[in-house]
Amino acid sequence: MMTIPESHTVIQVPLDDFVTMINNFCKKQSDGVLSESGISLTSWIRVLMSKNPGRTVSMVVIDIEKYFKSQNSKCQKKYREAVLGEEKDAGLEGGQKKRRKKDDIKQLPNVSRVQVEEALVDLQLHTGVQVRFLSTWKDFTDFITMSTKSVAEAPFKRERENTGFTFCLESEWSGGHKVDRAGNGLLQVWKRQIQQLNRVSPDMASAILSVYPSPQILVQAYARCKTEQEKVGLLADMLIRRGEGVTSTTRRVGPELSKRLYLLMTSSDAQQPLDSTV
């Protein structure tokens, strides 16, 4: 069992124990009876969660495919022996008999993929715990690293989402765009500035750029408007085109985006929300 930040716990279950608990689950499903020494996967997790309340549990099992391949090989071997009559061979040496008996003791119960899936569904329904199957210990190490990083970053992501900003903070738009001395790239900077507004698609930004290719031209257009209402709705009826040919569609920018862009470009109040009424 390994604990990572924010009460998250990753449990690495040995393959032998995992298969045995799956087999116990199958016996209980078929017979309705489970021996005192047998415990199913769901029951085991319930005990762990009751002893560690408030924790989020993830389970990892390593190299289950090796088990399934081994089971398939055993089935094929038994089939060949039955066909060739090797099981009735009276000349089998005593040492071989002992070795086979010893190997049988070490054999794991035979469970199918379907039975594993049924047990996992029962586990998730009753506990909410999911199982991740990994191939190697390196994969397990990578999983722990990824999980730790993800959980550690979660508080910062939640804080960023709760900033109350009405514009998008995605790195693609906030990363800036290179502009050379000749001014090449300024159009993309202006487009990205528009797309920082919440719910503004590239098509919407391109429609605005087609009429107002720079912030200065848009500000000049606002200055020519005679009323405040005209300024707020300046962009509302502008058409946004999507696609080409017979499949193309059009729609308006709309009054909400028109108002937000107007506030962005003209408001002198640095604390004014862009979604507020004018």
Distances (CA, A) of 55 to 12, 41, 49, 127, 129: 16, 18, 7, 12, 11
pLDDT at 30: 78
Residue 205: CA atoms inside 13 Å, Cβ hemisphere, count?
19
Q: Do the two domains 2-74+106-161 and 171-266 of this chain adopt the same fold?
A: no
The domain 2-74+106-161 having CATH identifier 3.90.380: the answer here is: no
pTM for this predicted structure: 0.48
Is the model's pLDDT at 97 over the cut of 70?
A: no
pLDDT per residue over 212-258, tens digit each?
Answer: 998 899 999 999 999 999 999 999 988 888 766 656 778 888 888 88
Range of lowest pLDDT (27-36, 64-73, 266-275): 27-36
Is the model's pLDDT at 13 over the cut of 90?
A: yes
What is the DSSP-derived secondary structure letter of residue 47? H
- In this prediction, residue 171 has a pLDDT band, given cuts at 50, 70 and 90, of very low
**CATH code, 171-266:** 1.10.150.670
pLDDT at 187: 83
Element (H or E) spanning 195, and its range? helix 186-195
Contacts (Cβ under 8 Å, ≥6 apart) of 257: 197, 199, 200, 204, 235
34 conformational bin, left if phi > 0, alpha if psi -120 to 50, beta if neither? beta
Q: What residue segments make up the domains of the chain, in order of their start?
A: 2-74+106-161, 171-266
Strand arrangement, sheet containing 131-134: 2-4, 8-13, 56-62, 131-134
Residue 134: CA atoms inside 13 Å, Cβ hemisphere, count?
19
pLDDT at 266: 85
Is the model's pLDDT at 260 over the cut of 80?
A: yes
Percent of the chain with pLDDT over 70: 71
Is the model's pLDDT at 98 over the cut of 70?
A: no
Percent of the chain with pLDDT over 90: 24
Whole-number mean pLDDT of the chain? 78
